[in-house]
Amino acid sequence: MLTQSNMLYQIRHKSRFRYDSDVLVCQNLTHLKARTLDSQTCIGSRLEVSLPPAVRMEYLDYFGNSSCYFSIQENHRALDVIATNEVLVRPAPAPDPAQSESWNIVRDNLRLSLAPEIVDALQFAYDSPYVKTDAELLAFAKPSFPEGRPILEAALDLTGRIFRGFTFDPAATTTATPLHDVLKLRRGVCQDFAHLQIGCLRAVGLASRYVSGYIETTPPPGKARLVGADASHAWTSVYCPPYGWVDLDPTNNAIPSGKHITLAWGRDYDDVSPIKGVILGGGYHSISVEVDVVRLPEDVRPTPTETFESIS
């Protein structure tokens, strides 16, 4: 039974691919099933594809994310991929920033300790395809990290500085925009701000990972909720003893709790993009995405499911 603090969400994520000539074969990798964590349980998961896959394989990737590979081996000019998740979210009390360890100690332990938890975190302290640390990122990060400051206080200060100093602008960047351009433009989207914060944290020697998922949004006062108007979301997580990993959302200046639903995590977007692939043929193509994040009434509880189907 749902408690007052728990929330049950249904998330529908539809990707539409359209081509101006035949695609002979396509191979796709998805990260579209929500993780089950202490803070959330994936109750139902469904992945539907508009053409029957010739090959399909579901597995846990290196980071423990649910992944699905499928291949379409017939000529087509359109492909729809629809993922539906039902997720029970249990908000946890926010950690006390003042009780977290000094960031200097955490940094030094990441380099010196052989404790399994720290060795595991260390893989998120190095450069990755979308996050290359440099002197500019270090200079931007430094004001938040005076000597001896508790790591979560410092990380939250950085979160707030990104939130206040950067403008959300979907037209300003693409997935290929380098971090130094984001830093210069002071504009971007949640993916950019997550990569920026990760780069800053890694530049000072800390471990940070990229988290993909969704966030519940509400329409402006007096406006109806628009179907399909939500979007996938991205935030960061910092290794923060004694609390372990703590999520941070620089786009909203918040510690995610309650309204955030986690799909996957990795070193950066390249590890966990919702869907990516390669095609043979197709010519010019277009992609559109529709996302709905709906909080379900307390008297609705879906039957646990996990399916992969073709849809007509």
| pLDDT, tens digit only, all 312 positions of the chain | 444 578 999 999 999 999 999 999 999 999 999 999 999 999 999 999 999 999 999 999 999 999 999 999 999 999 999 999 999 999 888 899 999 999 999 999 999 989 999 999 999 999 999 999 999 999 999 999 999 999 999 999 999 999 999 999 999 998 888 999 999 999 999 999 999 999 999 999 999 999 999 999 877 676 665 554 588 999 999 999 999 999 999 999 999 988 999 999 999 999 999 999 999 999 999 999 999 999 998 666 655 555 655 554
* pLDDT, position 176: 85
**Hey, where are the domains in the chain?**
7-90+272-299, 97-256
CATH of 7-90+272-299, one of 3.30.420.140, 3.90.1150.10, 2.60.40.2250, 1.10.150.120: 2.60.40.2250
What is the model's pLDDT at position 230? 82
Residue 152 CB contacts under 8 Å (≥ 6 apart), including other chains: 95, 96, 97, 100, 238, 240, 243, 246
201's enclosing H/E stretch is helix 190-203
User: 258 with 89: CB under 8 angstroms?
Assistant: yes
- CA 65 – CA 270 distance, rounded (Å): 13
192 sits in which H/E element: helix 190-203
pTM: 0.92
CATH architecture designation of domain 97-256 = Roll (3.10)
Per-residue confidence (pLDDT) for residue 306, from 0 to 100:
58
Could you tell me the strand order of the sheet in which 232-239 lies? Answer: 245-248, 232-239, 208-215, 260-266
